[in-house]
Amino acid sequence: MTKEIAISVQHVSKKFRLFASPSERLAEALHPFRRQYHHEFWALRDVSFTVNRGEVLGIMGQNGSGKSTLLQIICSVMQATEGAVQARGRISALLELGAGFNPEFTGRQNVMLNGSIMGFSRKEMQQRMPAIEAFADVGEFFDQPVKTYSSGMSVRVAFAAAIHIDPEILIVDEALAVGDAKFQHKCYARIENFKAQNKTIILVTHDIGQITAHCDRAILMSKGHLVMEGKPRDVVDRYIETIFGDDERSAGTETDSGETRHKSVLIDHSSFEFMDNKLIEERRSYCKNEVRFGDRRAEILDCVIESGGVWDPPQINFGDPINIYTKLKITAEFAPLFGFAIKTLAGIELYGSNTYMQQIPVPATKPGTLQKIRFSFSVPLRPGDYFLDVGVAEMDGTVGGSAVDVRRSVAMISIAPIGKRIGFNGLVDFSPSFDIL
């Protein structure tokens, strides 16, 4: 059965003319010999893809990658310099906070205005108004000027208006990130309801969990180019590499179907020697935006994850045992404790422990010593991406000790569901037993 295409983007490019100052813009407009004062900036370059009817497409990319420009062209807010876009069906778009809202109008008045622009009569909008007001849930502010709203209130009203005009295509550009957890949950529940109604959705977000949870397919934008299109899990992995990986390695612009992945070498444990010259900064999983602090009487030189004989793997299968190896150079004598923690990308600590908390005795070390520590466990985490913290501290009677070298978010751990059925909701597998009594 041939799938119906809802949105077709073919070879779209967008050029902007940039001026150093308003006076240069005026000078170019008035110059008798048409002298050019501007320089060209291509926000999009030859972007092509289609979205099928009923599909949820996620779009990812760092700030400045061209995502918002692309959406504005799809919504006919902006015209492409080259190429063409065809959209089949009524589009409702939430492109940015309060986009299209008049700050002097109340929320109710802006909703009425938005509805009239979309072709609805005043009577039709009045019939929808109770549902819109209930979903926005901003109380008496619904009849106050939008200029008095917080950013969260603006997006509540804007999203409520967008979803209650029976769109066939819904486009949401990062705006939901400002809402509180309760409102976000309500919004994504409505998106799931739209999916069930076979409506087309384009979701732009930096929240990789939402991409993998809600999208059927994803694309990755970088510097105006579409660099990858494929399964959400594969696109998320590539996105993480562009943020935390080697800039040169991530800078390519050729479209990737998701099949090309980093290769890891199968080696035995003896290969991780005390005296090898490998540094953590050279590892594939290293996060260059780590936070590091401590007095440095010991320095963490390297940290590497091993699972199934694969060192520094791009992904770890759900439920597999892993080893985290950390190598330190001791520069002063003290009584150390060693620890690690696993966090979500939002910084929520899922687990953290150290040798002091586990009542594992660690002898005092002498200056010049190279120390290797191994933390071992099986992965009980829901497939997704997580940060790893490692640290060494001096025992001072407190649970965490006095920081010597703590490296937070030093590496990325990516858990994949390969070959395993995920039989739970949430982030951690409690592996419960069920007894029918």
Mean local confidence (pLDDT), 249-277: 44
Tens digits of per-residue pLDDT, 93-114? 777 655 567 888 998 998 898 8
Of 43-52, 170-179, 277-286, which range is least confident? 170-179
CATH architecture of 5-89+168-250: 3-Layer(aba) Sandwich (3.40)
Q: Is the pLDDT of residue 378 over 50?
A: yes
DSSP code string of 321-359: EEEEEEEEEE-S-B-EEEEEEEEETT--EEEEEETTTTT
Q: Which residues contact 309 (CB under 8 A, 6 or more apart)?
A: 266, 267, 268
DSSP code string of 261-274: -----B--GGGS-T
HSE-up of residue 216 (Cα within 13 Å, Cβ side): 17
Cα(248)–Cα(240) distance, rounded to whole angstroms?
A: 14
Q: What is the percentage of the chain residues whose pLDDT exceeds 90?
A: 25
Tens digits of per-residue pLDDT, 140-151? 899 999 888 887
**pTM of the shown model:** 0.61
DSSP code string of 230-281: E-HHHHHHHHHHHHHS-HHHH---S-B-S-------B--GGGS-TT----GG
Domain segments of the chain as ranges: 5-89+168-250, 269-416
Q: Helix, strand or coil for residue 108?
A: helix
Residue with the larger pLDDT of the pair 148 and 258? 148
Q: Is the pLDDT of residue 252 over 50?
A: no
Question: What is the residue type of 339?
Answer: G
Mean local confidence (pLDDT), 43-58: 92
Identify which of 78, 13, 9, 70 has the alpha carbon closest to the alpha carbon of residue 41: 13
| Residue 274 pLDDT class (50, 70, 90 cuts) | very low
Most confident of 76-80, 244-248, 271-275, 346-350: 76-80
And the tokens for 229?
């299109």
CATH architecture of 269-416: Distorted Sandwich (2.70)
